[in-house]
Chain A
Amino acid sequence: MNRTRFAARRLAQGLVALLLIVVVNFFLIRAAPGDPAAVMAGEAGAGDAKFVAQLRQQFGLDKPMIEQLGLYLGHVALLDLGQSYRQQRPVADLIAERVPATLLLTGSAFVLSLLLGITLGAWSSSRVGTWSDSLVTTVALIFYATPLFWVALMAVLILSIKLDWLPGFGMATVGQNLSPLGHAIDVAQHLVLPAVTLALFYMAIYARMTRTSMLEVSRMDFVKTARAKGVPRGRIWRVHILRNALLPIITLAGIQAGQMVGGAILTETVFAWPGIGRLMFEALLQRDYNLLLGLFLFTAAMVVLFNVLTDVIYTIVDPRIELR
């Protein structure tokens, strides 16, 4: 099978997954407490039955379930995720506004965690049994076991409140009229703490995986052959071991690029970073179920998208992969 057809097939599988998630989402919306029409009527200050019935008809809530599902699928296909009952605005608009902030945060954290994690893992695997190897392994183990939101809080407590080195709240300083360059520097300063915190957890995973993977590859026959041939040590590490050991890391990184959007929920909540995750926390506080489920659908779609992308990239990186 050629590459284009493989990509098309993976995309189709991704779409099926997405469709199923949309259907589940529909039933979750129905399961949410409170009839949306009753809630809206209550907020409009008119609780009488006639008005509620009129609203139900207006939003199609009086139609049979299967027809409602069809309508819902149609709306989602047109990127219409309904209204946020609390904010009186389309859910899709609310989400779109917050995407850039989340991309900035997760993108920087992603790059940082991959670079640091692979470097540390490779470094410690070349020094197995020494104190520096144990140090990296222990630190990775600790960050792996620490709740992300707590690391975030501790970072704010120590670096922002006690030492006053970096801002620990929001994305920019409020009420300052800065030049474009000044604004960029201001945002960068606000980015440091959330990005590093989010990166630490993933760094721990990448470091552990790189170390294990490199040790595994270094025991393989082709590495022994290279040694026997007298290939220089540094070249064996770089060309023979690292390149092969990185393949599982790429797979994991692809999965996590999508998952990071979900992982950012806690980080954004602690740092009041105005992204998707923070919006989810706000939706929770206000029990804004439509917005909550819209966000859920969005994050799930991101993961599906990144999974398909990873699979396609993977076949390009590793020609041994069979296209099935």
Chain B
Amino acid sequence: MRDFWRRFRRNKGALVGLAVLAAVLCLALFAPLIDGGDPWAMVQRPFLPPFELAHTLFGTDTLGRDIGTGLVYGARVSLMIGFVSTVAALVLGVTLGAVSGYYGGWIDAALMRFTELFQTVPSFALAIVLVAIFQPSVGSIVTAIAIVSWPPVARLVRGEFLTLRQRDFVEAARLDGQSDLRIIFVELLPNAASSIVVMASLMVATAILLESSLSFMGLGDPDLMSWGFMIGAARTVLRQAWWMSVFPGLAILMTVLALNLVGEGLSDGLNTKLGGGRGNAGL
């Protein structure tokens, strides 16, 4: 653990990322305390430019709602959907990858074909179709993001398991009469944990980008104020109110950048070779 922190600390970008992430997390957790208002309430005249009044520092939107309040509550939505959908994708991906890598043979072949199929389908288009058909809500958005994000996890866990299962300690556990389930969770999974953690931090970033893109296309949960929704609403009044799109966009940029930086730091700290990688699904 001390070693981990020493290596993580050497990455300056990761420290900055961690600080930014902590700040966004505080905003999200204490949203009602920081800004008591309701993000949907009309508090001032519409189209009020930013930096004119102290209590609506970031200006107001087309209906006179406070952009600042929206930013604070949007942090909640982004982080919540980012984390929950990542956890869901991890459960799915780790399970399938573990079964595939541990048992090998035809089970592995079948599951990998299935995984490849999911990797073939364009992920953003699939997410759009799923949310549109099952109607936009937190549940459908989280499900859609999880469904398009699990394949890389499955492949990663499978790869780790394929090499790990040939090691002596696994053979020892098997001779000891331990059940497959116990070997998978107690012996193998902890050894694959560092790579999974690094991948998870990058997945949260991708999930936040996906959620904001869905909301921007009008597929957000209609009850939640999110950054993507705010930018979508600002699109038609770009000429009159630049601040409506600039601030929520900066919020997404900073959060996602912070997560990517923390991911690289984790990769350094845990000595994995992951990091960076394949791209955020073309968003």
Contacts and interface: CB of A to CB of B under 8 A. Distances in A.
Nearest to A204: B279
A300 B249 contact: no
Interface stretch (B64-72, B104-112, B208-216): B208-216
Nearest to A304: B120
B53 interface: no
Nearest to A24: B121
Contacts of A266: 124, 213, 216-217, 283
B224 to A, nearest CB: 17
Contacts, number: 142
A193 to B, nearest CB: 13
B246 interface: yes
Given A157-B242, A208-B276, A212-B276, A292 B132 contact: yes
A161 B238 contact: yes
B245 A145 contact: no
A286 B257 CA distance: 34
B55 interface: no
Q: Chain A CB within 10 Å — which of B134, B231, B282 has the most?
A: B282
A24 to B, nearest CB: 9
B219 interface: yes
A63 interface: no
A85 interface: no
A269 interface: yes
A292 B129 contact: yes
Interface stretch (A125-133, A147-155, A222-230, A235-243): A147-155
A300 B122 contact: yes
Contact of A147 (B122, B132, B213, B239): B213
Nearest to A150: B249
B282 A154 contact: no
A163 interface: no
A31 interface: yes
Interface string B31-48: 000000000000000000
20 contacts: A20-B117, A28-B133, A145-B260, A146-B249, A147-B252, A147-B253, A148-B282, A149-B213, A149-B216, A153-B234, A153-B235, A259-B282, A262-B125, A266-B124, A266-B217, A269-B217, A289-B132, A296-B129, A303-B120, A307-B120
Interface of A: 17, 20-21, 28, 31-33, 141-142, 144-150, 153-154, 156-157, 161, 201-202, 205, 208-209, 212, 252, 256, 258-263, 265-266, 269-270, 280-281, 284-285, 287, 289, 292-293, 295-296, 299-300, 303-304, 307
Given A21-B117, A147-B228, A154-B249, 10 more contacts: A145-B253, A147-B213, A147-B231, A148-B283, A150-B249, A150-B252, A202-B279, A252-B278, A270-B235, A284-B219
